[in-house]
Chains A and B, each alone.
Chain A
Amino acid sequence: DGGITQSPKYLFRKEGQNVTLSCEQNLNHDAMYWYRQDPGQGLRLIYYSQIVNDFQKGDIAEGYSVSREKKESFPLTVTSAQKNPTAFYLCASSPNRDGYGYTFGSGTRLTVV
């Protein structure tokens, strides 16, 4: 079955360390997205990519980096520059056409210890 796989489900990081969250899709979707979710808040866009080898900053890109070397993969790196990285991270993908929403992964919960 087609879908989006995020790994790991839970991740613990020490302060000052970079960490990479994985996102893989086999839906043949062109666009991929990373969102951050904090308690009591909606989803905020970190980065998005419309095509391979191209990506743009979202609303809260500071302290994060991404790459899009393959259509299927859109990993997110949380760097030590991100001041408050503890959150739930959701990856999504969509076709680049009207009327289509997102298919989401199951999320990664990152905790900084």
Chain B
Amino acid sequence: AQKITQTQPGMFVQEKEAVTLDCTYDTSDQSYGLFWYKQPSSGEMIFLIYQGSYDEQNATEGRYSLNFQKARKSANLVISASQLGDSAMYFCAMREFYGGATNKLIFGTGTLLAVQP
């Protein structure tokens, strides 16, 4: 069965420093997609970045980059130059084809990031 594992329940980082949030996944599919979402205390889920399994380059979106190591089945999120507004829960997710064309996502348990001034 497909599974996402986030082993860091919580992390601290100093403002302006970089931080890496770990994510490993398990799948037997050749084609899959990996996502990162941010969930502030208000509760909404904000899409950050996407990596396809056949993408040769690591995805980047502004201060976010995804360190994709396919052989290790890891998809770590790197946030550069952390800001106080980055304090939130972060979820890694993987796309699973479930009964057809629908992009069902399965989620990890999340990492709570606290940025300190």
Contact = CB atoms under 8 A, between A and B. Distances in A.
Interface stretch (A19-27, A68-76, A94-102): A94-102
B102 interface: yes
Given A90-B45, A101-B50, A109-B43, A41 B109 contact: yes
A31 interface: yes
A31 B52 contact: no
A85 interface: no
Contact of A105 (B44, B93, B102, B104): B44
B91 interface: yes
Interface residues of B, number: 30
A99 B97 CA distance: 12
A58 B61 CA distance: 31
Interface string A76-113: 00000000000010101010111111111111010000
Size class of A's contact patch? Answer: 20 to 34
Interface in B66-107: 91, 93, 95, 98-107
Interface in A7-46: 31, 33, 35, 40-43, 45
Contacts of A56: 98-99
A104 B45 contact: yes
Contact of B105 (A41, A98, A99, A102): A102
Given A101-B47, A105-B44, A94 B108 contact: no
Contacts of B4: 42
A101 B33 CA distance: 9
B44 A106 contact: yes
Interface of B: 4, 9, 31, 33, 35, 37, 42-47, 50, 52, 91, 93, 95, 98-110
